[in-house]
Amino acid sequence: MRIVPLTSFLLLSIGAIAPAFAATLAVGPGKTYATPCRAFAAAKAGDIVEITGNVTYSGDVCTISPSKLIIRGVNGRPRIDAAGKNAQGKGTWVVAGNDIVIENVEMFGARVPDQNGAALRLEGTNFTLRSAFLHDNENGILTGANVNSNVVIEYSEFGHNGYGTGYTHNLYIGNIGSLTFRYNYSHDAHVGHNLKSRARVNTIAYNRFSSLNPGQTGSTAAGKPSYEIDLPNAGTSYVIGNVIQQPSSNENPTLLAYGEEGASNPGHDLYVVNNTFLNDNSSSGTFVLVGSAVTKKALLQNNIFAGVGTLTNQAGAVEKTNYRALAPGFVDRANFDLRPTANALVIGAASAPGYAPSGVGLKPGAEYRHRASGVSRPQVGALDIGAYESAL
């Protein structure tokens, strides 16, 4: 069951309710519009575009200009294949309208001459994506800079995006007002990061960041990522309840980087609470890397840090009730059942996270469920350390 916990830091999705006068435009074989882009061209602000699922729409690239559209796949998930084409030299769908919601689509194949193509290029203000699968693009999502824009991404999968230069990523969020990233599965970025965000406020909660071993194939091919999470310009950032795994084969041994490119965002406060970090690099690693320009001490509380490496490079970082071990006990580590087994240093051993000065609650209210979903955290008694409550 998918849920949205009633915790104070989770933002409401933007534009989720269509106006009463909205028209519904039907897309697909035998429908009014043969392709999504034809429907976008005809749509008016506030309309709903329903795309027939289990159909591949090849080369259907365009700019989405009207605002307040709800675009969703129905009766299965439609597959949008860029097929060698692009809109404006930027990607598959260039989202120029404001308050756009896109649901239940699969997008792949975005490539452009400058090697920076995106399945979704966000240029409007405010955007919501849910229940989507973006893979094998040069970027999954790429946004411009817009400090008035708030982006919500939930229940979605991102895999094997990136051109291979290290400048393209599964997601590349520019300097926007806020990013809420929850219940997602971001994995196997091709040389780039599984998530890169320059947003002024980041809420990254109940996600799984991981990669396959070389040669393996899952929903995508294996990737060789750099950082699992990169927040290069700092910003007020809540990293809560995530699984953050670094594969043995990687481009950079850091799992979470913060402010490494200069702390230019107004907020310099990082809260890393109740995550499970897994470093499969047996020779090196830094779990939380903090740039020298960051003026505040990061809070690292109630996390499991598994594997070798430096916990953090920041002198004086606030470390509370974390658990470190080369191989902590999990129910089934190989299959990512990361509920802790009997260990008095983990079960019931967490401290109360309380609230950030902003008033945001730091206590986890949910757990990630594979794939790209979540459930309420089933706490019995005192809070456990890590992203999951024990099976006991």
pLDDT, tens digit, 9 for 90 and up, residues 57-73: 999 999 999 999 999 99
Question: Percentage of the chain with pLDDT > 90?
Answer: 94
Do the strands 366-369 and 373-376 form a parallel or antiparallel pair, or are they unpaired?
antiparallel
Say whether pLDDT at 9 is over 60: no
- At 324, the amino acid letter reads R
Q: What is the predicted pLDDT for the residue at 57?
A: 99
State the average pLDDT over residues 113-138.
98
Q: What is the predicted pLDDT for the residue at 6?
A: 36
Say whether pLDDT at 326 is over 70: yes
Say whether pLDDT at 253 is over 80: yes
pLDDT tens by residue, 41-61:
999 999 999 999 999 999 999
Tokens 């034809």 label which residue?
38
How many beta carbons lie within 10 A of that of residue 344, not counting itself? 7
State the average pLDDT over residues 331-348.
98
Given a contact cutoff of 8 angstroms between Cβ atoms, the answer to whether 227 and 263 are in contact is no
- Angle at the Cα of 156 (from 226 to 111), degrees rounded to 5? 60
DSSP letter (8 states) at residue 180 = E
Q: What is the predicted pLDDT for the residue at 19?
A: 57
Q: What residues have CB less than 8 Å from 245, skipping those under 6 apart?
A: 208, 209, 210, 211, 228, 277, 278, 279, 280
- Tell me the C-alpha distance between 101 and 385, whole Å: 35
pLDDT tier at 4, thresholds 50, 70, 90: very low
Question: Percentage of the chain with pLDDT > 70?
Answer: 95
Q: Could you check whether the bond before residue 38 is cis, i.e. omega within 30 degrees of 0?
A: no
- Tell me the C-alpha distance between 174 and 261, whole Å: 13
Cα Dmax for the chain: 64
SS3 of 165, please?
coil
Given a contact cutoff of 8 angstroms between Cβ atoms, the answer to whether 259 and 289 are in contact is no
Among the residue ranges 7-16, 54-63, 321-330, the one predicted with the least confidence is 7-16
Tokens 């693009």 label which residue?
137
- Tell me the C-alpha distance between 107 and 137, whole Å: 8
